[in-house]
Amino acid sequence: MGWCDDPKSKEYNKLISLPFGARYEKLFKRENIYDIILVLSYNMNPIKKNKGSAIFIHVAKKNYKKTRGCIAIRKSDLLKILKIIKTNTKVKIVNQK
């Protein structure tokens, strides 16, 4: 599985099957950061080309290395979230600097 991040593709900002003919991100990583993925509905309805894609909440690397636009948290915390969220749950992202 993958996620199309190619704004030239009609599958832009969508889950896709691999192999795929346009640019995409594989949803399998050796670091296991994509063992659990929550897809935030950013730029989903309607999808606008070049506005951005693939904003996920996923498992953080052990050193909490920066992501490329996603939110990464400990796997144990992500599992807690999974128990309480629903399809209509809203995620608010705030900068606490």
pLDDT by residue (tens digit) across 14-63?
A: 999 999 999 999 999 888 999 999 999 889 999 999 998 889 999 998 88
Task: List residues bridging with 26 in a β-sheet.
Answer: 2
Side by side, the strands of the sheet bearing 15-16 are 15-16, 2-4, 24-26
User: What's the pLDDT at 29?
Assistant: 86
pLDDT of residue 96 exceeding 80, the answer is: no
- Alpha carbon distances (Å) from 71 to 13, 68, 91: 17, 9, 11
Please say whether the beta carbons of 78 and 59 come within 8 A: yes
Q: Which residues of 7-80 form beta strands (DSSP E)? A: 15-16, 24-26, 37-39, 56-59, 71-73
Mean of pLDDT values over 67-91: 92
- Residue 97: pLDDT band by 50, 70, 90 thresholds? low
